[in-house]
Amino acid sequence: MAKASGFFTPSLRTKIQPSIGVSRSGFCLSEGIFKRVVCSSSIESAGTHVSSSQSRIPKLVNKGCKLVGCGSEVPSLSVSNDDLAKIVDTSDEWISVRTGIRNRRVISGKENLRNLAVEAAKKALKMANVEPDDLDLILLCTSTPEDIFGDAPKVQRELGCTKSQLAHDITAACSGFVLGLFSASCYIKGGGFRNVLVIGADVMSRFVDWTNRGTCILFGDAAGAVVLQACDAEEDGLLSFDLHSDGEGARHLGAPINDNENGSVLEFPPNRSSYACVQMNGKEVFRFAVRCVPQSIESALEKAGLTASNIDWLLLHQANQRIIDAVATRLEFPPEKVISNLANYGNTSAASIPLALDEAVRSGKVKPGHTIAAAGFGAGLTWGSAVIRWG
């Protein structure tokens, strides 16, 4: 196995470098090829002087960005382990011992992904004291959209935005929210945007085989959102990132299209396509997570010029309590510094990090100025870490 898949080999650190990152002063690669974005008030091209006001290229002058609001939303229906035991061969003890999960929320009635995303976004905007029309960009991180072409523009509409701000989806499964934070920081630090809304939302219940106790016990539905705002470089709250993917591991976790429904190559028109339920090799995903995630967090800390002792909270994608505990142990984070709400919601994919963050902020656990090491990991395989400061 170790030979077949790069993310399990001893040469992982060599294999995945250079990694993409952002430091406080701008964009950088891990080898330090680009240390910061350098710009001036004018642009010279082909001997012709073009003022910044005439150029389409924005000024990039030591910009930072900070987290100023958060929100979350979950479906009304709570499904307990005992409820699942009525439809599949399992028990509360079997599930909780192996995963740490006791309940999860599942959409019902007229609830859907967009409902959850919009409500989470409204709460984040209210906390940030930002009006929908003050947004420059909406990023919806999801792998389960209501529309195959994306839902971000529809979320924009339902929020009441009237200025045609850019809105688009990001698909990176359980790493999606971290990728959304990275994208938002790029738009702000490199594109001149001021207010960016990042939403992590997934409705995994639609892609779960409810007769398979190996997967149906894990997932839930939810949405979480944050507002990022431009600030001076000294106030920057997105300190560093470390991002990776490895398609070799895709076979261990995914929901592929059902090829057998497409007919032969010679048949036309093709039959209507559909996606399979979530398929997962739990043992391999566990090995991947406990090996790659600590290395990614260490890399992000190094880029930020920090160590684990400088971090107030460890916030991991809420996939499995055993994974969370194993990563925390390897990084020597004490349990009291680890944020986890997995027991109440299960694995909510791209929503898990912002959902847990929102609860921690609103409960007073995470306070302004606290530094958080966050990491997402999952299908793709993708994984990434961010060192952020709240407020």
Torsion of CA 298, 303, 307, 311, to 10 degrees: -90
Distance CA 387, CA 378 (A): 19
pLDDT at 250: 84
pLDDT at 264: 56
Residue 80: band (very low, low, confident or very high) from pLDDT cuts 50, 70, 90: very high
Torsion of CA 10, 11, 15, 17, to 10 degrees: 100
Q: List the catalytic residues.
A: 174, 317, 347
Question: pLDDT at residue 55 above 80?
Answer: no
Distance CA 335, CA 327 (A): 11
pLDDT at 220: 97
pLDDT at 11: 37
pLDDT at 277: 81
pLDDT at 270: 77
In DSSP terms, which residues pair with 227 in a beta bridge? 69, 197
Which residue in this structure is represented by tokens 């779960």? Answer: 208
pLDDT at 191: 92
Question: Taking the alpha carbons of 307, 313, 316, 322 in that order, is the dihedral positive or negative?
Answer: positive
In DSSP terms, which residues pair with 292 in a beta bridge? none
pLDDT one-digit tens code per residue, 279-323: 888 889 999 999 999 999 999 999 999 999 999 999 999 999 999
Question: Taking the alpha carbons of 30, 35, 39, 43 in that order, is the dihedral positive or negative?
Answer: negative
Question: pLDDT at residue 7 above 50?
Answer: no
Distance CA 343, CA 68 (A): 27
The amino acid occupying position 58 is P
Question: pLDDT at residue 27 above 60?
Answer: no
- Say which range, 160-174, 217-231, 254-268, has the weakest mean pLDDT: 254-268
Rounded average pLDDT over 9-33: 43
Distance CA 80, CA 78 (A): 6
Rounded average pLDDT over 117-136: 98
Q: Which residues, at least 6 apart from 252, have a Cβ–Cβ distance to it below 8 Å?
A: 280, 281, 284, 285, 288, 381
Other Cβ atoms closer than 10 A to 32: 10
| 189 token code pair | 């630090």
pLDDT at 267: 73
Other Cβ atoms closer than 10 A to 322: 15
pLDDT at 208: 93
Question: pLDDT at residue 36 above 70?
Answer: no
Rounded average pLDDT over 161-179: 96
Rounded average pLDDT over 219-228: 98
Residue 22, classed as helix, strand or coil, is strand
In DSSP terms, which residues pair with 306 in a beta bridge? none
pLDDT at 266: 64
Distance CA 262, CA 9 (A): 36
- Say which range, 10-14, 114-118, 194-198, 235-239, has the weakest mean pLDDT: 10-14
| 167 token code pair | 């809105």
Helices 282-304, 321-331: crossing angle, 10 deg rounding: 40
Q: Are 244 and 382 in contact (CB under 8 A)?
A: yes
pLDDT at 56: 36
